[in-house]
Structure 1
Amino acid sequence: MVSSPRRHFPQGIRGRVSLPECVNAFLINLRLHYDYLLYGSLSRRMATMSNIQSKLSIIRHKLWKLQEESGTSAVEFALLSPLFILLLLGMVAYGIYFGAANSIQQIAADAARTAIAGLNQSERQTLVASFVTNNASGYPFVDASKLTYQANDSTADGSQFVVSIQYDARNLPIWNLFPGLAMPGTTIKRQSTIRIGGI
């Protein structure tokens, strides 16, 4: 750092100086202040530039590390994304299949409950047919045109009525996955049994 200039005054007899000496002393002090302002400002500028360069070096180092980490992340994503996408699509496809299977079971149960009002097997079959025709399309993941059903009195116990439903599930998206994966059957079969005439 440049120290503050000391003022220069000529020493005369009894503190008196002539006019030329005063002018000369003024010019010398002016030059000292000019040098101080020039070199002091320059040193401050150099210190500021050094500080800026240090900070830029730190920023460049951080950016380099960030680019390196970004490249590593991109490679990892490229390697793992196919497996992740396959897993995600498999979860969605199997979820739709299980949802359809649950809907088929619910249709069979609701149709069996509807058949209670029938007085004989023929009336119960008519009630089941009407229920399936009018309501099956309202269940999730179910295409009513692909449903088949049987509604009969139980051969093992005449006091029970059995509703069996089969659903062709080949239109579900689960079959579009890789063929090497384990797949359920293409036909979903569910049945529901209800007692005739109460307990």
Structure 2
Amino acid sequence: MTHPKSFLDRIGQNSVAASAVEFALLAPLFFALLFGAIQIGIYMQNYNALRSLAADASRFAAVEYQKNHPMSSTALEDNILSFGTKAPYFLNESRLEVHLTEVTPSTVSGAREFTLDLSYNLPSIAGGIAIDAFEITLSRPVFVLKV
């Protein structure tokens, strides 16, 4: 007389079922690592874009002032914001904040000194997970000739 095999015995002998169970156990970990690596790549790209934008904005302000085209702080902020949304930066305008404040007195004689403050709220690809938004902030001095 043969005894009927239990359900667990049948699954243990079926390699397809065992593979499905192993995948079900390991898939969440694998996908979490994959999405985490992608998220870190996005964060690094945004950080590098913000740093490059700050350097290019400082250069732009200095050149415009040297050409005797002084701009107001608001006009410079608008230009910097428009630069950040285009190539090569491709930052999202709704996440980017630009503030330019004049420092008086300037630490360099014969020059006006500004402080450029940039902040960017990093996007998250894990929409269903309740992770607080990360923000990158960057501050840089900008020196231009007095006009």
TM-score normalised to structure 2 length: 0.63
CA 114–68 in structure 1, closer or farther in 2 if over 3 Å, else same: same
Q: Residues 163 and 192 of structure 1 are in contact (CA less than 8 Å); yes or no, is this contact kept in structure 2? A: yes
**Aligned equivalents of 2:140 and 2:129: distance in 1?**
33
Structure-1 residue corresponding to 2:61: 115
Please provide the CA RMSD for this pair.
3.2
Higher helix share: 1
Deviates more, 1:127-136 or 1:74-83: 127-136
Pick the aligned partner of 1:173 from 120, 124, 138.
124
Q: Which has the higher contact order (CA 8 A, sep 6+)?
A: 2
Q: CA offsets, 1:69-88, max 9 Å, x none?
A: 44433322121011111111
Gaps spanning 5+ residues in structure 1: where? 1-66
Is the Cα–Cα contact under 8 Å of residues 90 and 177 in structure 1 kept in the other structure? no
Question: Corresponding residue for 2:50?
Answer: 104
- The match for 1:92 is 38
> How much does 1:110 deviate?
1.0
- Check conservation: 1:97, 1:174, Cα contact below 8 A: no
Residues 140-193 of structure 1, C-alpha deviations (whole Å, 9 max, x = no match): 451123322122344574334321112244xx12462533x6x563x3211222
Offset of residue 127 of structure 1: 6.0
Q: Which residue of 2 aligns with 1:146?
A: 95
2:50–2:89 Cα contact (<8 Å) kept = no
Aligned to 2:18, which of 43, 47, 72? 72
Give the Cα separation in 2 of the matches to 1:142 and 1:148: 11
Structure 1 residue 188 corresponds to structure 2 residue 141:
no
Aligned residues of 1:94 and 1:174 also touching (Cα < 8 A): no
Q: Which runs of 5+ in 2 are unaligned?
A: 1-12
Residue 94 of structure 1 and its aligned partner are, at CA, apart by 2.9
